[in-house]
Structure 1
């Protein structure tokens, strides 16, 4: 609300005379004596700072920023303290046909706001145009939006980090756990402050993750975001959070005190447990939508700079499918993203990022460029180049699928792994060759330009799609609760209900489902690359067949702890621990069936059940349902490192067919094959196996060639 009789004018504030201040850093910076405000706008003609009363309700002062350096407007207000609420009003041309949408009647959130108070309340006043007019966005709306807008808040980012040290886990040891702050904790009745950062980093949650063997937790977006009006109208919410409003501010709904310290304390606790924190970040678009969307921040500050506009600049390029695309070709937009990333690393101490629709971040007017200035800037940045960087290598624009195209040190989500592992265990024809490629780190995609075998982020499930339980329980998606008549979400999930759609009490079906879940989890952990587990999969969590729970902030989207599958949880712990114990399964170098200098053995050998090598006929046999692989330390690994490995080789069998007698590779008197895992009989102690082993139908077995004396198994 505006104060009675206010005008947008005065260069004097009650706190003292405003001075020119500094153009850097951008945002609101408290220095102990006052606050420096700096905001970018290339095309504005005037920039007004709006200050609010302590409760955030009333605009108490409107102050024109007195200086402009280049395209940065700035001023210093003495006497202001952390906790001060503020916003901006930008003046300039309102000419949508030329890409300009300035409207000083609209309160604008600072893109660099470190904290946001209040929640967006949908009202027609939020829009820069008159929504009731048949001329649409070409009209100009004079209603004031401040009553309905959240405010930026000045913060003091200082925090007592004590002895905090980043775990800095090498990728060869990394196991990622993709989770939602609220969704992972709301279903745990033993937690206080459920749904918050505090609950996520509580002792019960840390204990669960440590016992599972997780080394990094990847959080769905925690940047402040907006609940879409169309969802609120249906009684739903933007649960996942992929509609960012501010790239520096944490989402208030996950906080307890409302202070940045909420997030910092969470990170500190994870670090103390040896777990890294990765953030899923959405720099490809904002919550303002297309030309018919609201004016909340970027659009009102400088629409023509912040967004990629079409040939007719009234409209937006929409490579993201959300209505707009950030213009990463503009230096100040790129700077904002880089500043945001560095802020989260330096002030919050997160350990890395997963970039949503990362192809968009590397787009120019000519399409995707792996040498885009933004990607190069990250790679050379002394802060950002040392954290984990994960790309989702696609968007919905032309040429958007770029799996394998990102430069080192980026890792990439590998959807080929997801789809082909599901299809192999669904017993489809011709999947043996494809599974072999995924088990060896998808080298055809990633082994170039010095990239490591850890570049492929392997996953069978993620937040977007079926849970692991639903992959084996539903043949079709069931998204009716989303209110779109089941039209949303992917239709081809490579899933199988194994006899009955949805829940059942049929013990035979339940046993088959459990076996298939074990097979897919084992495949994930036995493949070269960096594995990622979806939170709740280890508990047997179901979303009742909903494969697009983006709007389900309820029991559908939350992890079900009450009905946790204890047996499957035990298996998951076992197979994650198996990967940790056997470094041959998680190497940095690719395996290419090359001879090793240390002993002449090849580092990768594919076998049939009879022990003979796979031939081209076998690879092309669509009916082939079993494949065995012998892996050793990669050729090129220094000999002293090779000798330090606990096992000489690991032998894995993946059998999607009938029971089969599988002959083992040769061994020596002082080295023998030890059965370490069998998904048909999980939890059994290790035993020595000699020449051959019966491998059950639909199962995975793992043996290690070790100098361990054990009683033989016939």
Structure 2
């Protein structure tokens, strides 16, 4: 790498905004570093020649300068000078080229080389600074000016109660999709292609939750094993869309392509939610590379160990934790969020390991500055906010403890529903809470049922097909001797481990998948589907495929279970058409005036009576009827009129043998229409599907959705 230090005129410029901003005739560069003694701005020409320019101005710890004639497409980085004293947390080393944390686009890949590390790789991390230049091995920022034509873009603004989330990986969604042109597969443009958008629309989902799209790099330990980080939870740039997902190159074109994807999804009525990783960065622990924040101001950006400042406080399991207690770090986080909403038009965020962001000192603090700033922000407070309400630190499991405005990935929902269908004897008490919006978790602080994002699977863990096919994880391909990934998955393989040709086992597995999906989509709250579960996708038993950027993780569109897809479409459509299944307020269990004694919510035992106290605490009970009266819905339409819907009985039987249940009669119902049953591959029961109240046999491991019929409007044979 050729370099030169040029004595060219660098105008003072401005300390705000941070990052690189072109004004039509030049670019202003601004970088925060409280402890730096000098900052060099490094510009790279098309031949890779590096031109260094010392920034002479500092204002409120921001180093800044304006270079006339520098415009969009310019590659750049920083070299930051300061003391080298790892024991005190100081890791400045000007031989390391550093990425601007506010870079709007990133160009180039990370190459594994000893020069990536600020300390000498052949000595202790607290030893002398490494003298090698890292510039040939690290990505650079790109000056961006994008005048994307947002004209006509309309945000869907779907209400939480109407939302169905589809968690999806940008690359994995279309890498094997035959309807997407090869040049677009695995890219933002591929996700926006009609062939994939039409699948989303036909499925009935209202929002895609994209696995991380902030620019990320792979960890050195993966690169050494010949693997890469596929999921993307290893962020390097919080303002830049990941360059490798662009079909048009990485010179800033990825910004335009990302915006075009958002606009296309909006046009189809689909919101875009980003999975964001503000809890840690790609620089890892004390042995990790120096790529950006670590070399700009290590003690200013990260939480350092109070007893040994050469080490990091790690609440994330990834080596470091961003110190959101510091104003400058909190400002960076909020600047990033606002940028993605205002400039990139995204509709919300899912915060990875959100409990780490809420730690003021050691404990998770519901009143932390993070919550205060988010709640008062006029932009960020108006979009969808989803917390992964845990981290790996002590006291980090905080399901139900985030404040109003927030929805949460409900980990207790996942665990309970899996236990029920895996045959664990857990009774129905906890299941009843999960089916009805988890009022035990979210009601006390004034939140609504949609505070619960219900899910059975996610990117992290078994796919739905694998959940009923394997009892043991198969992660050998990850290179960690199968030690990685969750070992307690609350699952059941239906009696045979792995794939089988036994038709009875195959049929049972299919029914179990339908049971899990039906439970999910008939539950009050916000359902989240994992991409590919509706198609029968398998990862061959790998439940931690974070480093499998290959056919293990990519959706196989040539191996689609057509019946399962039809089943999910039917189920989502039923949910959409039935307001009683997606209520905005918690059930009260009160009698509804004028109905003869029915309640908005009632629970029935197999014998036909309502559940008793003994039933609620009977861990052996595997059968329950959930009655939802559509005349008792507690929210109104946009004109203030009461919403009235059909009434339904959800009959759930998780036991291994058939059971006779007593369908309740008057005043609850004059009869029932079976509109969905998990015993059938597409969910559609044979005709006629109308049954009278009274005894009826429910097959083993089955869910029925029965629409309540009442005379004189409905006829019962």
Tell me if both proteins adopt one fold, taking TM over 0.5 as the criterion: yes
CA contact (8 A) 2:214 2:238 kept: yes
Q: Pairwise mapping of residues 59-74 of structure 1 onto structure 2 (< 5 A)? A: 59=50, 61-74=51-64
State the alpha-carbon separation in 2 of the partners of residues 686 and 358 from structure 1. Answer: 50
Correspondence for 1:45: 37
1:626 partnered with 2:623 = yes
Deviations 1:512-541 (A, max 9, x none): 000111110000001111000000000000
Structure-1 residue corresponding to 2:698: 695
Aligned pairs (5 A) from 1:76-225:
76-133=66-123, 135-192=124-181, 193-225=184-216
> Structure 2 residue aligned with 1:611, among 605, 608, 612?
608
325-334 vs 187-196, which deviates more? 187-196
Q: Deviations over 1:537-588 (max 9, x none)?
A: 0000000000000000111111121111001111011111111111111111
Query: What corresponds to 2:684 in structure 1?
Result: 683
Q: 1:588 maps to which residue?
A: 584
Kindly report which structure 2 residues correspond to 1:474-553, keeping only aligned pairs within 5 A, or say none.
474-553=470-549
Contact (CA 8 Å) 1:674, 1:703: kept in 2 or not? yes
Q: Distance in 2 between matches of 1:367 and 1:304?
A: 21
Instruction: Report the Cα offset of residue 144 of structure 1.
Output: 1.0
Alignment match, 2:270: 275
Shift of 1:636: 4.8
Contact 2:170/2:186, CA 8 A, preserved across alignment: yes
Q: 1:374 to 1:157 in 2, by over 3 A?
A: farther
User: For residue 468 of structure 1, what is the aligned residue in structure 2?
Assistant: 464
Alignment match, 1:252 = 243
Q: Matches of 2:459 and 2:428 in 1, distance apart?
A: 27
Local SS of the residue matching 1:367 = coil
Moved more, 64-73 or 329-338: 64-73
329-338 or 360-369, larger mean C-alpha shift: 360-369
- 1:262 and 1:638 mapped to 2: Cα distance? 40
SS in 2 for 1:661: strand
1:570 to 546, 566, 569: 566
SS at match of 2:400: coil
Whether contact under 8 Å (2:279, 2:354) holds in the other structure is yes
User: Once the two structures are superposed, what CA deviation does each residue of 1:108-160 show, in whole Å capped at 9, x if it has no partner?
Assistant: 10000000001011111111111112x33332111111111111000013200
Residues 1:596 and 1:25: Cα distance change in structure 2 (over 3 Å): farther
Change (3 A) 1:686 1:148: farther
Q: Please give the alpha-carbon distance, in whole angstroms, between the structure 1 residues aligned to 2:22 and 2:583.
A: 47
Q: Is the 8 A contact 1:602 1:635 kept in 2?
A: no
CA deviation vs aligned residue, 1:274-299 (integer Å, no higher than 9, x gap): 00011100000001011111110000
CA distance in structure 1 between the partners assigned to 2:128 and 2:589 by the alignment: 66
C-alpha spacing 1:546/1:372, structure 2 compared with 1 (3 Å): same
Counterpart CA distance in 1 for 2:557 and 2:399 is: 35
Structure 2 counterpart of 1:413? 409
Aligned residue number for residue 654 of structure 1: 652
TM-score, normalised on structure 1?
A: 0.95
Counterpart among 19, 33, 42 of residue 27 in structure 1: 19
Partner Cα separation in structure 1 for residue 206 and residue 608 of structure 2: 36
In structure 1, the residue matched to 2:318 is 322
Gaps of 5+ in 1: none
Point out 4+ residue stretches in structure 1 off by more than 6 angstroms. Answer: 639-642, 668-671
Could you say what secondary structure the match of 2:147 adopts?
coil
Partners of 2:633 and 2:199 lie apart in 1 by 37
Partner SS for 2:425: coil
Question: Helix, strand or coil for the counterpart of 2:67?
Answer: strand
Contact 1:131/1:137 (<8 A) preserved: no
Unaligned runs of 5+ in 2: none
2:65 aligned partner: 75
Match of 1:54 in 2: 46
Deviation at 1:256, TM superposition (A): 1.3
Whole-angstrom distance in 2 between the partners of 1:671 and 1:113: 65
User: Shift in Å at residue 641 of structure 1?
Assistant: 6.3
Instruction: Tell me by how many angstroms 1:390 deviates.
Output: 0.4
Distance (Å, rounded) in 2 between the aligned partners of 1:638 and 1:145? 61
- 8 Å contact 2:112–2:223 — kept in the other structure? no
Shift in CA distance, 646/138, structure 1 to aligned 2, threshold 3 Å? same
Deviations 1:346-392 (A, max 9, x none): 11101101100000011111311111111121111111111111000
| Structure 1: distance between partners of 2:140 and 2:594 | 64
Q: Judging changes above 3 Å, is the alpha-carbon distance between structure 1 residues 598 and 206 closer, same or farther for their aligned structure 2 residues?
A: farther
Secondary structure at 2:87 match in 1: helix
1:425 and 1:669 mapped to 2: Cα distance?
28
- For the 8 Å contact 1:94–1:140, the answer to whether it is kept is yes
Aligned to 2:288: 293
Deviation at 1:711, TM superposition (A): 5.9
Q: Given the superposition, is the C-alpha separation of residues 34 and 686 from structure 1 closer, same or farther in structure 2, using an over 3 Å criterion? A: farther
Counterparts of 2:395 and 2:146, CA distance in 1: 41
Aligned CA RMSD, in angstroms, stands at 1.8
**Does residue 227 of structure 1 match 2:218?**
yes
Q: How far is 1:187 from its partner? A: 1.7
Q: 1:550 to 1:284 in 2, by over 3 A?
A: same
Distance (whole Å) between structure 2 residues aligned to residue 284 and residue 627 of structure 1:
41
Secondary structure in structure 2 of the residue aligned to 1:364:
coil
TM-score normalised by structure 2 residue count: 0.95
Distance 1:645 1:542 in 2: 41
Question: Do the aligned partners of residues 660 and 225 (structure 1) sit closer, same or farther apart at CA in structure 2, a change above 3 Å counting?
Answer: same
**Cα-to-partner distance string for 1:222-256 (whole Å, 9 max, x where unaligned):** 11111122222222110101111111111111001
State the distance in 1 between where 2:139 and 2:84 align: 23
